[in-house]
Structure 1
Amino acid sequence: MSVAEDGRMTPSHHLHARLIGQPGSRDQLNTPALIVDRDALDANIAAMARWARDAGVALRPHAKTHKSAEIGKLQIAAGAVGLCCAKLGEAEALAAEGIESILLTSPVVTQPAIARLVALHERIPDLALVADHPDAVAALAVANSERPIRVLVDIDPGIHRTGVASPDQAAALARQIADAPGLEYGGVQFYCGSQQHIATYADRRAAIADRTDYLQNVMAALGDARLTPPVVTGGGTGTHRIDAELGVLTELQVGSYVFMDREYAECDLGAGFATALMVDTRVISSNTPGMATLDAGLKAFATEAGMPAILAGAPPGSRYRFMGDEQGAVLVSEGATAPLLGARVTAMTPHCDPTVNLYDAYHLVRGDTLVAIWPVTARGRSA
């Protein structure tokens, strides 16, 4: 469904809706433009869904990657049990567009946020969240919800971002949740984020196996307390095959597989997913031999993961370099000719999640034809 079809208007729609369906219309887009290859997107969603069915594991894809109701609905239609959201605002935005099963993967602790949580809980049939502190559980337990709020124990895998710090703490918090009249004990979350991008599969597997051994200790403590978790959720694109093989997680929070970015392209995932997300840019200056200036700079890409990778529009071996807020550069190999003024250059995002948050809409293409414009539904919803 395009924005034109469902009435939601974005600046990108005002600029480009007239181009939808016109052959060659991709080349008429104002740039920088966030591009999604529709066929690659569909293939990635189908491949992960098929793999999960064969592996006997549930998928709850993380919407922090795409922030899109349209993409989330495609994932659920392919078999996902629901979505994850990192922030309450993301969940509110996606729920407003019809997403009915959401797990909040970050704790909700303040009274204003808990009030919003309760309101959302009353609007959709399946909402759950994680907690890692007795005071947070106590606040949730008196939140005056019409039906119990499902709460999972968040377990720290060792990065000390969120999560309980020991098996005993996990058992104590699970008991507090289970005994609270206004709450329902939903299981545990164990997300090993720092292991997702370990470059080699063997090293990544060794790291996850070590962390899974620790998770087994937590599971044993919960079992001794007669609190065996009904759901064990976590994992991600980088470790999905390893997590399934180790057999402890029951639900996987895969996210980036729908798009793929440079960080994941540099990892051996043990499976093939296509690059579906990219940014189209234009050459706006070409006065220096060996380089050309592009209209996509620091405001067009997330920057913490290094440089974008040039996919098309420049000679093989060309490299991207940031040149400021609004501009970048393509640097060509010695002896090669830089792209000419006005040429389209396509780049792979270094890190897809925060890059998506910079744009108001996706431009979906098949070949060189714009086929739809989808809003980034939860763009900027970080609270």
Structure 2
Amino acid sequence: MSEAERLHRHLIGQQGSRGSLNTPALVLDLDMLDRNIAEMATFARAHNVKLRPHAKTHKSADIARRQIAAGALGVCCAKLGEAEALAEGGIEALHITSPVVTPQAIDRLMALNAKAADLMVVVDHPANAEALATAAVEAGKPLAVVVDIDPGIHRTGVATPEDAVSLAGKVAGLKGLKYAGVQFYCGSHQHIKDFAERKASIEERTEYLKGILAKLDAAGLKPAIVTGSGTGTHFIDAKLGVFTELQVGSYVFMDHDYEVCDLRGLDKPTFEQALQIDARVVSANTPGMVTVDAGLKAMATEKGPPPILRGAVEGSTTRFMGDEHLAVIAPAGKAAPALAEQVVLTPPHCDPTVNMYESYHVVKGDTLVDIWPVTARGRSR
């Protein structure tokens, strides 16, 4: 039994039970989550593009099932360990978006391929393709492979159009591998705040991708799957019509880093902030400032301190006060929250914040309705 279940299982279904949670607690608003999932699914259908949402955001078999039920092909995983955990949770359509290279990891990949009904993995190096092919032949089941193309951030992916054609040809010719398509993920573009600037940047990168796709087609290697995109560029990418599927992730939660981006050029939020952190005031001795119990260990911090969703007067700000604590500072002349009062925070960056928690406290309104495990928490190997 998880700590969350031990402390809070008895609260499920009790009206207003969110107010009795031990804090800090990772809270998921179920109605907001479902509306976010439905909105993206409707958008994809309207634009004749498939969804393969990225599970690195939520690491949850429960959420993956809801996405698939709404029409998603399956989910993406950043790491092999995430894919293994979700497969253990019953998710069988999985795409691993980072290369799996070492012998020990390839052994695990073959075991996963034997169990999963629909598994894909990227490659960006001919030696890796050869190693995967050898292992797949020995294992007795072909492995679907996607060629990863570097969009210019130099993280993973082949570096040139010529390398893309060469590697695709190699994959297609190797016994044990099935050439499934290409991946092109512009990660550095997702958080460009201004819509017009983001659109111009993605259009330039899409022209680069289209040139590679033309070369692949000319070589008889036209990809059946062109996968990529993300929450920040999904609207632009769908309109450009090059991707066959979108690897959107954070739309289910909407952290602060995405909330400040104009996702569809409408100058208003498209999705709702379903993921929240409940905290409580534990010290209130300084006029205009209190301390809550959610500090550096309660959320990812590289995007700065968290905004306040509710529980403090408008204009209040936050400042980290150490591992366990956060200051909530009221505007001049205004009162700060009182001792033991609830303050609800927006995670600055959802993916690594989720990885800090074992469970989601799923709520409807202010009532706890379920506790879901973070299925792939810590599964980064």
Matches within 5 A, 1:38-187: 38-143=30-135, 144-187=138-181
Determine helix, strand or coil for the equivalent of 1:248.
Answer: coil
Contact 1:145–1:182 (8 Å) recurs in 2? no
Aligned residue for 1:219?
Answer: 213
Structure 2 counterpart of 1:299, from 297, 300, 305? 297
Indicate the SS of the match to 2:287. coil
Percent of aligned pairs with the same amino acid:
62
For 1:4, the equivalent position in structure 2 comes to none
Equivalent in the alignment of 1:339: 337
Give 1:284's aligned residue. Answer: 282
Q: Equivalent residue of 1:165, what SS?
A: coil
Q: Please, which of 291, 307, 310 is the counterpart of residue 309 of structure 1?
A: 307
Letter in 2 for 1:103: H
Three-state SS of the structure 2 residue aligned to 1:286 is: strand
User: How many pairs were matched up?
Assistant: 375
Q: Distance in 2 between matches of 1:306 and 1:234?
A: 27
**How far off its partner does 1:343 sit?**
0.5
Aligned to 1:360: 358
Aligned-partner SS, 1:306: coil
Distance in 2, matches of 1:280 and 1:290, equals 20
- TM-score of the aligned structures, taking structure 2 as reference length: 0.98
- Aligned to 1:188, what secondary structure does the other structure show? strand
**Could you tell me how far apart the structure 2 residues matched to 1:371 and 1:44 are?**
19
Match of 2:198 in 1: 204
Question: Match of 1:49, as an amino acid?
Answer: A
d(CA) in 1 for partners of 2:291 and 2:162? 57
Moved over 4 A (4+): none
Query: Following the alignment from structure 2 to structure 1, what is the Cα–Cα distance between the partners of residues 275 and 103?
Result: 38
Gaps of 5+ in 2: none
1:340-375 deviations in Å (ceiling 9; x for gaps): 110000000000000000000000111110000000
Which amino acid counterpart does residue 40 of structure 2 have in structure 1? M
1:3 is matched with none
CA RMSD of aligned residues (A): 0.7
- Residues 154 and 164, structure 1, Cα contact 8 Å, conserved in 2: yes
Cα displacement string for residues 243-284 of structure 1 (whole angstroms, at most 9, x for unaligned residues): 011111111000000000101110001161111000000000
Per the TM alignment, residue 145 of structure 1 is displaced from its structure 2 partner at its CA by 2.6
Q: Which runs of 5+ in 1 are unaligned?
A: 1-8
Aligned to 1:272, which of 263, 270, 283? 270
Question: In structure 2, which of residues 22, 30, 39 is the aligned counterpart of residue 30 of structure 1?
Answer: 22
**Residue 185 of structure 1: CA displacement?**
0.2
Q: How far apart are the structure 2 equivalents of 1:11 and 1:229? A: 46
Give 1:194 shift.
0.4
> What amino acid is aligned across from residue 121 of structure 1 in structure 2?
N
- Structure-2 separation of matches of 1:43 and 1:220: 38
State how far apart, in whole Å, the 2-side matches of 1:55 and 1:221 are: 26
